[in-house]
Structure 1
């Protein structure tokens, strides 16, 4: 399996969902991200990072609240937002960076 660094260095957009199992808004994001994945198909990769299991990754990107979504392409963070974001908004943002 690819490392986190390898995954975010992709030349296609990679949306990372920093989440926690105890977080209510994170559970709200789950179906939104599932729908987004089916809408985007292979246009982007969506990965979830549990901040409790991966504190180093969360610290590296100064993730202070969950959920925090960060869009990477070629290893660079192009966009980030904390809180629940609707699928249409995410899709437009990802397509703009494709």
Structure 2
């Protein structure tokens, strides 16, 4: 069941927009598709591949938002100066989606 009080972070949903191809591949930009309320879940730390210096880890951030048809893998979420790439969208609940994201390092 949806608890609106937990949706306490204002985030922007960003979609990749491709510009007109002028023979050189065109330009791509991230445009704001919507601004919504979200709940940040506890970050998940998973062991990754073994690197030369030891084991690497993968840190993902779960987020809950109200269900919306347009959000999908490959989108980004922006909050407080940080951007997160959407790796998965769990649509098992018809009221709320859980996004699995990872912070984008620029």
TM-score normalised by L of structure 1: 0.22
**RCO (CA 8 Å, sep 6+): is it higher in 1 or 2?**
1
Q: Comparing both structures, which one devotes a greater share of its residues to strand?
A: 2
Greater Rg by CA: 2
Q: Comparing both structures, which one devotes a greater share of its residues to helix?
A: 1
TM-score normalised by L of structure 2: 0.21
